[in-house]
């Protein structure tokens, strides 16, 4: 069972309803592989819940959803929604 952790160890990738930790050192490769690295560097990635810009500091989750890739920031409210989605997914 994953718990919310203020001192996050890495970013999370949701895959088929399961959360996987992605370490900071791997995140650029991951973003590149899903075609989002440029958007991330340009500050064009938004949280799917609160619409905040995703940055290195507030990044929490990547959620592939069909053809779309969604992102979630590290606010407790947003992260909680993602965990709820994982639990029911
Ligand atoms: Zn958010």
Whether 2 is in a domain gets the answer no
Q: What is the distance in A from the centroid of ligand 1 to the CA of 61?
A: 10
Q: How many CB atoms lie within 10 A of CB 37?
A: 16
Residue 50 included in any domain: yes
pLDDT-based confidence at residue 64 (cuts at 50, 70, 90): confident
- Identify the top-confidence range among 49-53, 64-68, 84-88: 49-53
According to the model, what pLDDT value does residue 45 have?
Answer: 95
Residue 41 within a domain: yes
Q: Domain total for the chain?
A: 1
Instruction: Give the domain range for residue 50.
Output: 19-88
In a domain? residue 24: yes
Residue 39 near residue 59 (C-beta atoms within 8 A): no
pLDDT confidence tier of residue 7, bands split at 50, 70 and 90 = low
Say how many Å lie between the CA of residue 29 and the centre of ligand 1: 23
Give me ligand 1 centre to Cα 33, in Å.
Answer: 23
Residue 7 lies in a domain: no
Residue 14 domain-assigned (yes or no):
no
For residue 46, the CA-to-ligand 1 centroid distance in Å is: 8
Give distance in angstroms: CA of 10 to centre of ligand 1: 17
Using DSSP, state whether 40 is helix, strand or coil: helix
């Amino acid at each position: 069972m994953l718990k919310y952790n203020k001192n996050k160890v890495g970013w999370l990738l949701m895959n088929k309803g399961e959360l996987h930790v992605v370490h900071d050192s791997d995140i650029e490769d991951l973003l590149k592989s899903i075609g989002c690295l440029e958007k991330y560097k340009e500050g064009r990635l938004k949280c799917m819940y609160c619409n905040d810009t995703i940055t290195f500091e507030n990044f929490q989750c990547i959620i592939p959803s069909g053809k779309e890739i969604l992102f979630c920031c590290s606010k407790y409210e947003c992260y909680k929604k993602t965990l709820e989605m994982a639990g029911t997914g």
